[in-house]
Amino acid sequence: MEREKFAELVREALDGLPKIFSKKISNIQVVVEDEPIAQNGLLGLYQGVPFKHRGVWYGNVLPDRITLFKRNIERISGTDDEIREWVHKVLVHEIGHYFGFSEADLRKLDEQ
């Protein structure tokens, strides 16, 4: 898939977030990279200070960052529709980290 088309899927996923979440997201950037440095199958990565750990001291900091790894998502997808589904799923997962959920917490939510 062309990079711009993939980036458009990311924008669609962001625009489709429930307002209850999107209103609380601030100081964050979402980027697309081809692959992580370590070839470990990673689909996405959140880097930053989780929302629940921010206090009155939080300010004047670089934006948190969510990275989606295009080629790894494409590898596990057979169609453009599957890529769209994975982009949404990975983005929501990484936003879960933004809100302070651990991997274990997110896995439990996925099982429900």
Which pLDDT score, from 0 to 100, does residue 112 have? 66
- Helices 103-111 and 80-98 cross at an angle (nearest 10°) of 130
Which pLDDT score, from 0 to 100, does residue 27 have? 86
Answer whether 49's CB lies under 8 Å from 63's CB.
no
Domain count, the chain: 1
Q: Which domain holds residue 91?
A: 3-111
Which pLDDT score, from 0 to 100, does residue 46 have? 95
* Predicted confidence pLDDT, tens digits, the chain (112 residues): 999 999 999 999 999 988 888 888 888 999 999 999 887 889 999 999 888 877 778 778 889 999 999 999 999 999 999 999 999 999 999 999 999 888 888 888 777 6
Q: Give the Cα separation of 58 and 6 in Å (integer).
A: 32
Answer whether 14's CB lies under 8 Å from 49's CB.
no
CATH of the domain at 79: 3.30.2010.20
- Other beta carbons within 10 Å of 54: 16
End-to-end CA distance of the chain: 31
